[in-house]
Amino acid sequence: MTQSEHGVSLASIYQARRRIAGQAARTPLVCSRALSERFDAEILLKLETQQPTGAFKLRGATNMIAALIERHGRDALEAGVVTASTGNHGRAVAFAASRLGIAATICLSRLVPANKVVAIEALGAEVRRVGESQDEAFGEVERLVHERGMTLIPPFDDPLIAAGQGTIGLELMEDAPDLDRVIVGLSGGGLLGGIGAAVKAIRPETRLTGVSLSHGAAMWESLQAGRPVAVEEVESLADSLGGGIGLDNRCTFGLVREVMDDHYQVSEVAIAHAMVDLLEHEKLLVEGAAAVGLAALAEHGIEVRGQRVALILSGNGVALETLDRARSMCGR
């Protein structure tokens, strides 16, 4: 798939940065002394946990809504915006829409933790709980688009969404232009694909490593099959990495295939240990999806000695009961 086909370019990522300025934060990139000593490398942590909504998703949602208003005018969104989400994207859409005075409806499966539902509702969006998977929640989204004329803000599979997430890649290259490797959680592919589009355009030799769940890894299974495939969604500490990529995926499947250099799958135990390590040693509260980069380093012994490595800590939306479960799995 060429750049013109997936629609994400370095230029579109710079345009996204202009649109999201003042809405999404430019987040810190900090060096972890403890992890650097542990892995004999310079380990840098990109703190997307410091976004106003607690996760990177604000970048893509803000970029898409702002771009639609820019191109078609505010009246085009009069019926409101709608999406399906595992939580973080829904909160981002709700936040961005509320800042722009636009109604938002967020469709969530029953697997989405209650803390994320409460956070979305607090932003004034309507929440609909539908089905046992993100794909089932998307059925309700399609109905609302068709019957009410609402505008879909997809969680990942759109060039505007991926370009928004790609602004992380610009910041990485500005703050650490000689990065050897970036390790990113992989689900629908908007985060990894967007970051990869920016990083590879600026420094092609930087390796881009994706990390998925050990079960229910829809993007990885699709890449293995050579086409988008459906997988059974499973409960995980890294619930934000759940869900399918869409059988009609038009953007992120090809984008991830183009930019990702290698890939690892991590166990629930490894995710639990990474979450607890980041809390106890870095004083960072992160959700499971944000901890998978560290989980992959620890579980698979990725060779990073002497390298400069960035881990994307993608969000902090973890329920206390989930954190307790992680601690219990670690024997804490």
Q: Which pLDDT score, from 0 to 100, does residue 4 have? A: 55
The vertex-239 CA angle with 8 and 58, nearest 5°, equals 40
Confidence of residue 164 (pLDDT cuts 50, 70, 90): very high
pLDDT digits (tens, 9 = 90+) for 278-297: 999 999 999 999 999 999 99
Q: What is the CATH number of domain 3-55+162-329?
A: 3.40.50.1100
Q: What whole-number distance in Å separates Cα of residue 266 and Cα of residue 196?
A: 21
Report the catalytic residues: 57, 314
Share of the chain above pLDDT 70, in %: 99
Q: What whole-number distance in Å separates Cα of residue 218 and Cα of residue 209?
A: 16
**Which residue spans of the chain are classified as CATH 3.40.50.1100?**
3-55+162-329, 57-152
Q: Which pLDDT score, from 0 to 100, does residue 316 have? A: 94
Residue 8 has pLDDT above 90, yes or no: yes
Q: Which pLDDT score, from 0 to 100, does residue 234 have? A: 84
Confidence of residue 240 (pLDDT cuts 50, 70, 90): confident
E strands in 134-291: 151-152, 181-185, 207-213, 262-266
The vertex-287 CA angle with 285 and 288, nearest 5°, equals 130
Q: Does the global pTM surpass 0.75? A: yes
Query: What is the side-by-side strand order in the sheet with 126-129?
Result: 126-129, 104-108, 81-85, 151-152
- The string of DSSP codes covering 62-131 is HHHHHHHHHHH-GGGGTT-EEEEESSHHHHHHHHHHHHTT--EEEEE-TTS-HHHHHHHHTTT-EEEE-S
- Helix (H) or strand (E) segment spanning residue 162: helix 159-175
Confidence of residue 51 (pLDDT cuts 50, 70, 90): very high
3-state secondary structure of 138: helix
Q: Which pLDDT score, from 0 to 100, does residue 328 have? A: 93
Residue 256 has pLDDT above 90, yes or no: yes
Residue 68 tokens read as 């639609």
Confidence of residue 259 (pLDDT cuts 50, 70, 90): very high
**Any bridge partners for residue 47, and if so which?**
313
Residue 269 has pLDDT above 60, yes or no: yes
Q: What whole-number distance in Å separates Cα of residue 319 and Cα of residue 73?
A: 38
Q: Are 49 and 25 in contact (CB under 8 A)?
A: no
What would the mean pLDDT of 64-86 be, rounded to a whole number?
Answer: 92
Confidence of residue 134 (pLDDT cuts 50, 70, 90): confident
3-state secondary structure of 310: strand
- Among 289, 260, 253, 258, smallest CA distance to 157 is for 253
Under CATH, what is the fold of the domain 57-152? Rossmann fold (3.40.50)
Computed over every residue of the chain, the mean pLDDT equals 94
The vertex-94 CA angle with 89 and 100, nearest 5°, equals 125
What would the mean pLDDT of 66-70 be, rounded to a whole number?
Answer: 95
Q: What whole-number distance in Å separates Cα of residue 199 and Cα of residue 208?
A: 9
